[in-house]
Amino acid sequence: MTISKILFIEPPRNYWFVMGEYLPPPTTLLILAAYVERELPNIEIEVLDCQARQITWEGLERHIESSKPSVVLTSGFTCNAYSCARTAEITKRVDNDIVTIVGGSHFSFVPEESLTNFPEIDIIIRGEGEQTLINLLQALHKVKKLRTIHGISFRHKQKIIHTEPQPLIENLDTLPYPAYHLVEDYIHRYHFTMMAGRNTQYMILEGSRGCEYRCTFCTQWNHWQGQWRTKSIKRIADEIEFLNETYGGVFLWFTDDHINLAARGKKLYNELQKRPCKEDIMLFLQARTDDVAKHPTVVQNLRSVGTYWIMCGVENNSSATLKEYKKNVRTEDAYQTMKILKENDIFSHAMFVIGNRSDAHTSIEQLRQFSYDLHPDFAIYTALTPFPGTIYFQKAHENGWIQDYNYANYDMAHAIMPTEILSRKDVQHELWQCYNHFYGSYTRNIAGVFSPNRLKRVLYRHMAGQHVLSKLRRLV
Ligand code: B12
Ligand code: SF4
């Protein structure tokens, strides 16, 4: 077949109500589109962001009809799996000859199940996507055998074939900048109201892939073959500068699950310090508490070059639970981290997980108490979610702990499993209690709404205005 045009689709999706109103750029698609644009310049590429253009499912069908692509591609994590399948279904309704391709960590971990349940998906790209996609498009174009392409899963004569994994790209600096120019017409719409304000340009960039830790509830290390690879510091700073100067990107969210201050913090500071954009940017980072606790000076330095918000996976107060999660941090690290962030006027965002197998009302109450003692600016409580691809999923599935296999609910706000003592409903109720106690507290609320810290004021007003508590209450 002739591949003349490919269409990347960010379909209509549910937003994560806990974080309020936001519109993220479809970064994964832009990263892939940039690579295809460079490697296969003869192919026409379109990126359709239904969210940004407020296109409904019906509108999407009409758009595919008029766009006439040879291939439709989409991506999504576990809670978005059905929206990807629906995109493929609509595509096939328009024209059965259009090849539908999906990727991302969810589909990479359950290719057999996905190709069985969703006949409208033709091909799954597993793991790192760039090179596999190029090889696949070339193969489709030349009618080459799909079996020769590494990193894909597809159907062939009633059977599902999984080819060997694709080797990882050795040097991430060889990747082009994400193709933000393909969404330039509506780029100004990307925003994250609660975190940076409605009119602050929100962009997402990648500094590294993977993680060297092995937490049992996390998919990320496994998705990237257990390796942590980083772009060079110069490349990261160049990309920040490019997004800021070319598109006015101000609120810049690093995709890096583990910013790794030990390996990169000082160098990143040195590099950004030389760049004028440091005065304009607001960097959002995700860090481990042990990493922050060990590098207070680096954190202080990074504050001076635009780091204004750090999210940390504190997870739990109990050492036994942290050990079980293989998190490899201590509760003291969490206290130390919050102190360092506060001292440096960096917005502290702590993530907690409830619903471990041994959890009871008392242990969750202790976790709540711990979260108040830590006193983060922002606390997010989540229900332990057995994402396919995690060690936890395997264990929970084998033991019959999973009571909800509807992936749309795998958003960490829905309780998916009971514990030994608590029912799933109890866990859901406890989750609501966590938010209710933290954000419903009269004194904490008054302090938040009238805080001298602007970010904190916005956040507390958001929690009240967006009715987050009542939405969580409704899940019970
Ligand atoms: C930015 C981000 C967000 C943003 C917006 C993302 C978006 N555009 O929709 C926000 C803040 C809104 C968000 C929200 C949530 N997120 Co989030 N988010 C991320 C983050 C940090 C970066 C995503 C990214 O751009 N990655 C970079 C790209 C390049 O990586 P990639 O997507 O894996 O793509 C590569 C390959 O997988 C493959 N590929 C992927 N898709 C496709 C498609 C095709 C066609 C092909 C060929 C290849 C391919 O090729 C790519 C390049 O090699 C990731 C963590 C991470 N590092 O990925 C978490 C992550 C995706 N989020 C996660 C979760 C759980 C959530 C939430 C449910 C809740 C929460 N606690 O945050 C909500 C759900 C929102 C919703 N309803 O959609 C989990 C998903 C776990 C899972 N298995 O489902 C992740 C992995 C974090 C984690 N450490 O666990 N998120
Ligand atoms: S939770 Fe964080 S530290 Fe643990 S494996 Fe995932 S990314 Fe790494």
Query: In testing the pocket of ligand 2, which one of 105, 209, 218 has its CB within 8 Å of the most ligand atoms?
Result: 218
Please state the length of the chain: 476
Q: 312-321, 357-366, 460-469: which has the minimum mean pLDDT? A: 460-469
Provide mean pLDDT across the span 214-234.
97
Per the DSSP assignment, residues forming a β-bridge with 286 are 311
Q: What is the pTM of this model?
A: 0.97
The pLDDT score that the predictor gives to residue 466 is 66
Q: How far is CA 80 from CA 77, 290, 383, 408, 460, in A?
A: 5, 32, 18, 6, 28
Q: 117-121, 190-194, 238-242, 361-365: which has the minimum mean pLDDT? A: 190-194
Provide mean pLDDT across the span 44-73.
98
Task: Evaluate whether 230 touches 207 at the Cβ level (below 8 Å).
Answer: yes
pLDDT digits (tens, 9 = 90+) for 415-434: 999 999 999 999 999 999 99
Q: Give the type of residue at 187.
A: I
CA angle 459, 293, 172 (to 5 degrees): 80
CB contact burial 98-133 (16+ within 10 A = b; e otherwise): bbbbbbbbbbbbbbeebbeebebbbbbbbbbbbbbb
φ/ψ of 287, rounded to 5, equals -135, 155
Provide mean pLDDT across the span 355-382.
96
The whole-angstrom distance between residue 260's C-alpha and the CA centroid of its chain comes to 17
Residue 210 CB less than 6 A away from ligand 2: no
Residue 218 CB less than 6 A away from ligand 2: yes
The pLDDT score that the predictor gives to residue 254 is 98
422: which 2 tokens?
Answer: 């608590």
* Distance in Å, CA 328 to ligand 2 centroid: 10
* Distance in Å, CA 48 to ligand 2 centroid: 31
Cβ neighbours, 10 Å, residue 198: 12
Considering the chain, what is the average pLDDT of its residues?
95
Q: 17-21, 388-392, 461-465, 467-471: which has the minimum mean pLDDT? A: 461-465
Q: How many angstroms separate the CA atoms of 343 and 337, rounded?
A: 10
The pLDDT score that the predictor gives to residue 245 is 97
Provide mean pLDDT across the span 6-34.
93
Which ligand is nearest the CA of 87, by number? 1
Q: How many angstroms separate the CA atoms of 123 and 360, rounded?
A: 43
For the cut 80, the answer to whether the pLDDT of residue 453 exceeds it is: no
* Distance in Å, CA 350 to ligand 2 centroid: 14
Q: Give the type of residue at 399.
A: N
Confidence of residue 16 (pLDDT cuts 50, 70, 90): confident
- In terms of CATH, what superfamily is 5-162? Cobalamin-binding domain (3.40.50.280)
**DSSP letter assigned to residue 145:** -
Q: How many angstroms separate the CA atoms of 237 and 272, rounded?
A: 6
The pLDDT score that the predictor gives to residue 452 is 75
Per the DSSP assignment, residues forming a β-bridge with 315 are 352
Confidence of residue 75 (pLDDT cuts 50, 70, 90): very high
Query: In testing the pocket of ligand 1, which one of 73, 77, 258 has its CB within 8 Å of the most ligand atoms?
Result: 77
Task: Evaluate whether 337 touches 419 at the Cβ level (below 8 Å).
Answer: no
Per the DSSP assignment, residues forming a β-bridge with 23 are 191
The domain segmentation of the chain, as residue ranges, is: 5-162, 190-473
Position in ligand 1 atom list of the atom nearest CA 25? 8
Provide mean pLDDT across the span 200-209.
97
Ligand 1 pocket list (CB less than 6 A): 13-16, 22, 24, 26-28, 31-32, 73, 75, 77-80, 101-106, 125, 128-130, 133, 204, 206, 218-220, 253, 255, 257, 387, 411-412
Query: Angle of helix 361-374 relative to helix 331-343, nearest 10 degrees?
Result: 30
Q: How many angstroms separate the CA atoms of 67 and 47, rounded?
A: 11
For the cut 80, the answer to whether the pLDDT of residue 464 exceeds it is: no
First to last CA, the chain: 51
Confidence of residue 99 (pLDDT cuts 50, 70, 90): very high
The pLDDT score that the predictor gives to residue 35 is 98
34: which 2 tokens?
Answer: 């940039």
Q: State what percent of residues in the chain have pLDDT above 70.
A: 99
Provide mean pLDDT across the span 143-158.
93
- Which residue from 372, 371, 311 is spatially nearest to 341, judged by alpha carbons? 311
Alpha helices in 26-164 (DSSP H): 27-39, 50-53, 57-67, 81-94, 105-109, 111-117, 130-141
* Distance in Å, CA 447 to ligand 1 centroid: 33
Which ligand is nearest the CA of 213, by number? 2
DSSP string computed for 224-290: TTT--EE--HHHHHHHHHHHHHHH---EEEE--SS--HHHHHHHHHHHHHT-GGGGT-EEEEEE-HH
Which ligand is nearest the CA of 192, by number? 1
- In terms of CATH, what superfamily is 190-473? tm_1862 like domain (3.80.30.20)
Q: How many angstroms separate the CA atoms of 102 and 84, rounded?
A: 7
Nearest CA to ligand 1 atom 8: 26
Alpha helices in 97-223 (DSSP H): 105-109, 111-117, 130-141, 193-196, 220-223
* Percent of the chain that is helix, strand, coil (3-state, to 5): 50, 15, 35
For the cut 90, the answer to whether the pLDDT of residue 457 exceeds it is: no
Residue 387 CB less than 6 A away from ligand 2: no
Nearest CA to ligand 2 atom 7: 257
351: which 2 tokens?
Answer: 């993530």
Kind of pairing between the strands at 99-103 and 71-75: parallel
- Which residue from 375, 402, 376 is spatially nearest to 388, judged by alpha carbons? 402
**Residue 448, exposed/middle/buried by CB under 10 A (0-12, 13-18, 19+)?**
buried
